[in-house]
Amino acid sequence: MDSIAPRVPLGPKALADPLAPALANLATLALGESGGGITILKTRQPMILEQLLPAKSPTMTEGTIVAWRIQPGDAVKSGQVIAEIQTDKAVIEWEAADNGTVAAILVPAGQVAQVNSIAAIFTSKAGEDAAAAIAAAKDKNTKLNAAAVPAAAATPAVAPAANPLSTPIAAPALAPKAETPTGRGGLRISPLAAKIAAKLGIDVRQVKGSGPEGRIIRRDIEAAAAAGTARIGAGAAGTKPERPALTLTRPDAADTAVAMTPMRKAIARRLSESKAQIPHFYVTDRVDAAALVGLREQLNAFAGVKITVNDLIVRAAALALRQHPEVNATFDGTSIRRTDSADISVAVAIPDGLITPIVFKAHTLTVAQIGTQVRALAKKAAEGRLQPAEFEGGTFTISNLGMFGIESFTAIINPPQAAILAVAGISDEPVVRDGAIVPGKVLRLTLSADHRVVDGAAAAGFLRTLRGLLERPAGLLL
């Protein structure tokens, strides 16, 4: 025992020495340039300012730079517009958050890039070397955008064959839920049994399980194999096992593949979610529109006035919503919010798809004011210049296909709203007036409502009020 000495020399010196240079460094950093008295750290490193492609709407995952307003070498001030970005909904101006000099533009105009891609690099001072940062940023962009491809390809979450009515509604969750209550496509089978079955070519759907709760286990597969039954293709009772028919679409030379624009993707995703997850129901009503048409003609007789049927319907809907707050509501999956103000989204068709700019507080506006606003918003939408505040946050949507002379149609609810009104065209039809059949003008309205929020009686009540307002339209001018 005496011969055993500690293997490591101990003592304050031995321990302190290796740390000494680090401690000295620390001291220098803390003291800053002048060596004493100053407690603010100063940096001499050139500062690289990465400009990350921003998410300009809550649903934006990728975007396109429509145009850069800067070029390498430019001095940029915080707040200056540096580019225009096409989001999934609109073209939006991008303002710089930093002062600096443009060292490089990494996402060229016209190219789709994931949010948080490094679109440009600034340096804090002109002429600083940013080569390393640019190379690293290019690398990062490549990885970020490569990683996004499979994720995006896997996005269509709603199975096309699924009947929306049979899809269980998970109250708070908006994501679709897989429903295979017994696993492996309705079969209970142990992993080992499944493996052996695949190896032996046994059709497990024809095997009866002897394990707990009918689970197919190894011995069931081995028994089936020994008996020579349940071979795939053989059929247990002489019938072929059913296989889902596959329809293959072969591309034709005349076909055109159309790339999905960010807006098209957003429409596809949001409407699929809405139709699959919201229990829609539909109520249609027939409005005698003769008085409405007459009123419009009278109003348009004034010089400089241009009122459309749609303007009158927006006004009427706004007044009806005020009387039926249960329809003027939004639902976030857990709670319902009834809104005092009738903020009406008006569906506007644009070349890329459609968008729903909002006439806020429509119940406080005159028919003429509504008309002016709708046309201004439609013009901005067509130019792709709507700002998010102009199309996010409505409480009710009106979709009007009347200009196409459509007899009637149903619309898909625009979540989180609880209802949408589909407005068809006004047609000449016989109507019964004072007991006699006479030529009349008929307008069909269909309300799509979310049954989680609105019940049938409420929807019908709303439509009755709306019909009343449209059939005696003088009240719309009050």
Partner 1 sequence: MIPASRLAPPLRASRPINLKTEPINGAKGIPLGNGQQLLSLRMAICQALDEEMRRDERIFVMGEEVAQYNGAYKVTKGLLDSFGPDRVIDTPITENGFAGLAVGAAMTGLRPVIEFMSWNFSFVAFDQIVSNASKMCYMTGGMFPIPLVMRGPNGAGPRVSSQHSHAVEALYSHFPGLIVVSPSTPYDAKGLLKTALRQDNPVCFLENEMLYGHEQDIPVAEYLIPFGVGDLKREGGDCTIVAINRCVHWALEAAETLAKEGISCEVVDPRTIKPLDIELIVESVRKTGRCVVVEECYRTGGVGAEIAAQLMELAFDDLDAPVERVTTTENPMPYAENLEHETLPKPHRIIAAVKKACSR
Contact with partner 1 (CB under 8 A): which of 31, 194, 336, 382?
194
What is the DSSP code string of 391-436?
HS--SEEEEE-GGGT-S-------TTBSEEEEEEEEEEEEEEETTE
Q: Which of helix, strand or coil describes residue 293?
A: helix
Q: Which stretch binds partner 1 (CB under 8 A): 216-224, 300-308, 325-333, 379-387?
A: 216-224
Contact with partner 1 (CB under 8 A): which of 116, 190, 341, 410?
190
For partner 1, give the closer residue by CB, 116 or 190: 190
Element (H, E) at 198: helix 191-200
The yes or no reply on residue 211 touching partner 1 (CB under 8 A) is: yes
| Burial of 16 (C-beta count, 10 Å sphere; 0-12/13-18/19+) | exposed
For partner 1, give the closer residue by CB, 35 or 191: 191
Contact with partner 1 (CB under 8 A): which of 58, 191, 244, 351?
191
d(Cα 82, Cα 146) in Å, to the nearest integer? 26
The yes or no reply on residue 11 touching partner 1 (CB under 8 A) is: no
What minimum distance in Å lies between the beta carbon of 8 and partner 1?
5
User: Which residues touch 346 (CB under 8 Å, ≥6 apart)?
Assistant: 310, 314, 356, 357, 358, 359, 374, 377, 378, 397, 398, 400
The yes or no reply on residue 52 touching partner 1 (CB under 8 A) is: no
Q: Is 187:207 a contact under the CB 8 Å cutoff?
A: no
- Paired with 443 in beta bridges are 287, 426
For partner 1, give the closer residue by CB, 213 or 242: 213
d(Cα 278, Cα 450) in Å, to the nearest integer? 6
The yes or no reply on residue 182 touching partner 1 (CB under 8 A) is: no
The two structure tokens encoding residue 229:
């039954």
What residues from 106 to 145 belong to the interface with partner 1 (CB under 8 A)?
Answer: none
- Which stretches does DSSP call E strand in 144-279? none
Q: Which stretch binds partner 1 (CB under 8 A): 191-199, 318-326, 409-417, 465-473?
A: 191-199
Closest CA to 203 of 153, 178, 168, 239: 239
Active site residue 451: yes
Contact with partner 1 (CB under 8 A): which of 192, 354, 432, 477?
192
The yes or no reply on residue 4 touching partner 1 (CB under 8 A) is: yes
Contact with partner 1 (CB under 8 A): which of 37, 58, 186, 212?
212
For partner 1, give the closer residue by CB, 177 or 199: 199
What minimum distance in Å lies between the beta carbon of 200 and partner 1?
15
User: Which residues touch 475 (CB under 8 Å, ≥6 apart)?
Assistant: 319, 469
The yes or no reply on residue 13 touching partner 1 (CB under 8 A) is: no
The yes or no reply on residue 5 touching partner 1 (CB under 8 A) is: yes
For partner 1, give the closer residue by CB, 217 or 365: 217
For partner 1, give the closer residue by CB, 3 or 334: 3
Tell me 362's DSSP state. Answer: G
The yes or no reply on residue 226 touching partner 1 (CB under 8 A) is: no
The two structure tokens encoding residue 124:
């804090």
Q: Which stretch binds partner 1 (CB under 8 A): 2-10, 71-79, 228-236, 400-408?
A: 2-10
Instruction: Give the interface size with partner 1 as a residue count (CB under 8 A).
Output: 18
What minimum distance in Å lies between the beta carbon of 189 and partner 1?
10
The yes or no reply on residue 6 touching partner 1 (CB under 8 A) is: yes
Q: How far is CA 233 from CA 184, 236, 267, 310, in A?
A: 20, 9, 43, 61
Binding site for partner 1 (CB under 8 A): 1, 4-8, 190-195, 210-212, 217-219
Catalytic residues: 451
